[in-house]
């Protein structure tokens, strides 16, 4: 049966957020976490795994937002629909809504950057041409892009105020989860996508093997959904940049610049990786900011977010579809219906100067890198079709390594 990961695990997630991300936990030394068995505690039968910062990993120099999530950007909402059926279906949907209003009637500035274009990012050409996003962003698996587009059409056409709408540009990103998931079964329905939209909320974002990350793999470990954010200093504008990723790609994993083979004692060579089909995959990066940016500078911001993949060890393989979608939630920049007469032919906007972009670039790189790590740290081991198993990153070994080398 289809399971809504957000609703089914709501109580569990709230509890584990208090336990692992609350003020009392984040200052407990890693060694104590291990010795007391709190690193992998269990609540209601659900494994509780830490985020990167719960182990003392600090990526970059900028401060995070309160939740260290894309939802630190005011108004942004995220929803999941996790679909697990029998032993073969391991897939789902994740949606990102830029604001709480009618997104079609209040379009937001947006842009897309491509590192390697082996993917099916629907709606990208209109965003590139016009510079605006007019629908929620939906992430799913490769063969479910058409049904996700249909669901977006239903959602937009049925919003109050859209009764005369006759053209809609759905934006749907995908990665291929066919190693764990029987992707040919076409398990995702229009109702699943609409349920994810309906479930979208602000606040904590569930990460790991959930939603569009249910069946994904990353660096030969279980991948999934991850998120992070950065808050600029007041003197740099005080703006927030939030990132959400769907990780399903390969490379040689680095954790805060340290090769994973050094941490785990497991040699990972390039020749071994190229013999493994899982090196080819995809990563979708969604970047939200409240900074007043037009589409030109949002494209520059999206480019920097893709650098987060490289910092974790990706080299954008031949078969990988690596995309970043960036949008601004600044209310004064939203595109609203034309006013009648000559006054409706122009619009006045104020945007950040180019000279103000560097701090935002840094925020995007740091948040993207940390979001990818969070997708790995939070993902649980998943067994899927044909008995295949994607094993969770052995976080206990990482914690032990960090404790051992903390004074070096």
The angle at the Cα of 294, spanning 292 to 297, to the nearest 5 degrees, equals 100
Catalytic residue, candidates 113, 320, 328, 368? 320
The pair of three-digit structure tokens given for residue 316, joined into one six-digit string: 């954008």
Catalytic (active site) residue 322: yes
- Which residue out of 113, 144, 282, 317 is catalytically annotated? 282
Burial 239-254 (b: 16+ CB within 10 A, else e): bbbbbbbbbbbbbbbb
User: Is 320 in the active site?
Assistant: yes
Q: Where are the alpha helices (DSSP H) in 28-80?
A: 30-35
* Burial call 132-165: b when 16+ CB within 10 Å, e when fewer: bbbbbbbbbbbbbbebbbebbeebbeeeeeeeee
Q: What values do phi and psi take at 86, rounded to 5?
A: 55, -140
CA distances from 283 to 141, 187, 189, 243 (A): 11, 21, 22, 12
Neighbours of 166 (CB within 10 A): 6
- State the helix-helix crossing angle for 358-378 and 295-312, rounded to 10 degrees: 40
Q: What per-residue string of b and e applies to 82-103 under the rule 16 or more CB within 10 Å gives b?
A: bbbeeebbbbbbbbbbbbeeeb
Which helix (DSSP H) or strand (DSSP E) does residue 262 occupy? Answer: helix 260-264
Q: Choose, from 322, 328, 368, 375, the residue flagged as catalytic.
A: 322
Catalytic residue annotation = 282, 320, 322
């Amino acid at each position: 049966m289809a399971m809504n990961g957000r609703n089914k695990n709501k109580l569990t997630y709230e509890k584990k957020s208090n336990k692992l991300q609350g003020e009392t936990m984040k200052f407990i030394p890693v060694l104590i976490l291990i010795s007391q068995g709190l690193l992998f505690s269990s609540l209601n039968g659900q494994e509780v795994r830490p985020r990167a910062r719960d182990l003392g990993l600090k990526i970059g120099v900028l401060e995070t937002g309160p939740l260290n999530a894309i939802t630190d950007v005011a108004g942004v909402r995220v929803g999941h629909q996790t679909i697990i059926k029998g032993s073969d279906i391991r897939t789902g949907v994740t949606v990102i809504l830029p604001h709480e209003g009618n997104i079609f009637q209040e379009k937001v500035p947006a842009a897309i950057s491509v590192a390697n274009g082996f993917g099916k990012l629907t709606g990208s050409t209109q965003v590139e041409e016009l510079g605006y996003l007019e629908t929620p962003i939906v992430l799913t698996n490769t063969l479910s892009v058409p049904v996700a587009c249909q669901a977006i059409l239903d959602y937009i056409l049925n919003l109050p105020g859209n009764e005369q709408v006759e053209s809609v540009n759905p934006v749907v990103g995908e990665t291929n989860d066919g190693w764990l998931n029987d992707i040919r079964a076409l398990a995702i329905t229009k109702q699943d996508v609409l349920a994810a939209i309906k479930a979208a909320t602000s606040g904590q974002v569930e990460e790991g093997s959930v939603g569009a990350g249910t069946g994904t793999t990353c660096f030969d470990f279980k991948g999934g959904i991850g998120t992070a954010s950065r808050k600029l200093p007041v003197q740099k504008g005080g703006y927030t940049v939030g990132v959400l990723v769907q990780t399903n790609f390969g490379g040689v994993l680095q954790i805060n610049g340290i090769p994973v083979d050094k941490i785990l004692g497991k040699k990972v060579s390039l020749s071994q990786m190229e013999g493994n089909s899982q090196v080819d995959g995809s990563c979708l990066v969604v970047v939200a900011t409240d900074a007043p940016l037009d589409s030109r500078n949002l494209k520059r911001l999206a480019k920097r977010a893709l650098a987060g993949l490289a910092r974790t060890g990706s080299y954008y393989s031949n078969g990988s579809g690596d995309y970043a979608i960036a949008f601004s939630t600044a209310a004064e920049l939203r595109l609203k219906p034309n006013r009648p007469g000559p006054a409706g032919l122009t619009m006045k906007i104020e945007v950040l100067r180019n000279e103000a972009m560097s701090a935002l670039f840094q925020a995007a790189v740091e948040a993207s890198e940390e979001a990818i790590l969070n997708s790995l740290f939070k993902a649980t081991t998943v067994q899927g079709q044909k008995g295949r198993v994607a094993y969770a990153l052995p976080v206990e070994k990482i914690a032990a390594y960090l404790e051992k080398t903390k004074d070096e």
